């Protein structure tokens, strides 16, 4: 993937929690849980979007296929996940979700009244990604026990107003040291924040592509 060498290994953090972590600092940093190598790559690719994706933009956009994306300064919560899997593990959720939906369309939500797949938007919708991850055997129980959430996990949440959301669990500790922080775009661009239990958790996934990473 182009940009892969640039993005992997970067660890940019935003706002009051934003700092650049050097290799030496990383070894000294107290972590929530030591991520497996694939998860460490995934988190680094997600964190590298901080300061790059600064705008929340849910507009429908026609995309190239496969590997389609909108300009990186824009996006929604699912774009953080999609870009992280592409950059870190060379895994294209746009193509994989489209393939699974074409083969098993009836298994996916019909919230939007669609009668066929739409490769421009299907993979960018939280309910579709939840279904895809579950169909890949990656779903784990939803829990209020913080220890059940490991670095590299994906969580879906329900925001006020019944707005579905998705984020990546990192190995960064919350300021009080009790929870892992999330990297996500909840409305103001990609950020690292202490939001794991801020909203109802509706899904919990640990998705390592079997043939990649």
Give me the tens of pLDDT residue by residue for the chain, a chain 213 residues long: 444 433 333 333 333 333 333 333 333 467 888 999 999 999 999 999 999 999 999 999 999 999 999 999 999 999 999 999 999 999 999 999 999 999 999 999 999 998 999 999 999 999 999 999 999 999 999 999 999 999 999 999 999 999 999 999 999 999 999 999 999 999 999 999 999 999 999 999 999 997 443
CA proximity to 60, closest of 51, 50, 70: 70
Q: Structure tokens of 59?
A: 């507009």
Q: In whole angstroms, what is the distance from residue 149 CA to residue 187 CA?
A: 23
Quick check: 184 and 168 in contact, CB under 8 A? yes
pLDDT at 31: 87
Q: 190 by DSSP, 3-state: which? A: strand
Quick check: 167 and 204 in contact, CB under 8 A? no
- Residues near 132 by beta carbon (within 8 Å), at least 6 away in sequence: 93, 96, 97, 100, 123
Q: In whole angstroms, what is the distance from residue 177 CA to residue 168 CA?
A: 18
- Rg, C-alpha atoms of the chain: 16
Q: In whole angstroms, what is the distance from residue 20 CA to residue 42 CA?
A: 17
pLDDT at 22: 30
pLDDT at 29: 63
First to last CA, the chain: 13
Domains of the chain, by residue range, sit at 4-205
My answer on whether omega of the bond before 66 falls inside 30° of 0, hence cis, is yes
Put the strands of the sheet holding 180-185 in their side by side order: 139-140, 200-205, 154-159, 163-173, 180-185, 190-193
């Amino acid at each position: 993937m182009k940009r892969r060498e640039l993005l992997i290994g970067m660890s940019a953090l935003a706002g009051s929690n934003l700092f650049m972590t050097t290799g030496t600092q990383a070894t000294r940093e107290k972590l929530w849980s030591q991520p497996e190598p694939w998860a460490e790559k995934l988190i680094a690719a997600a964190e590298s979007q901080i300061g790059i994706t600064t705008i929340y933009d849910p507009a429908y956009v026609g995309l190239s296929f496969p590997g389609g994306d909108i300009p990186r300064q824009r996006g929604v919560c699912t774009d953080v996940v999609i870009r992280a899997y592409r950059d870190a593990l060379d895994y294209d959720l746009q193509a994989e979700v489209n393939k699974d939906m074409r083969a098993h369309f009836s298994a996916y939500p019909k919230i939007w009244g669609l009668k066929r797949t739409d490769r421009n938007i299907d993979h960018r919708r939280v309910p579709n990604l939840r279904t895809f991850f579950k169909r890949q055997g990656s779903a784990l129980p939803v829990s209020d026990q913080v220890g059940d959430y490991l670095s590299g996990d994906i969580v879906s949440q329900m925001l006020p107003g019944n707005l579905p959301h998705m984020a990546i669990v990192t190995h960064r500790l919350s300021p009080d040291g009790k929870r892992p922080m999330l990297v996500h775009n909840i409305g103001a661009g990609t950020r690292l924040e202490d939001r794991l239990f801020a909203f109802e958790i509706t899904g919990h996934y640990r998705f390592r592509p079997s043939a990649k990473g």
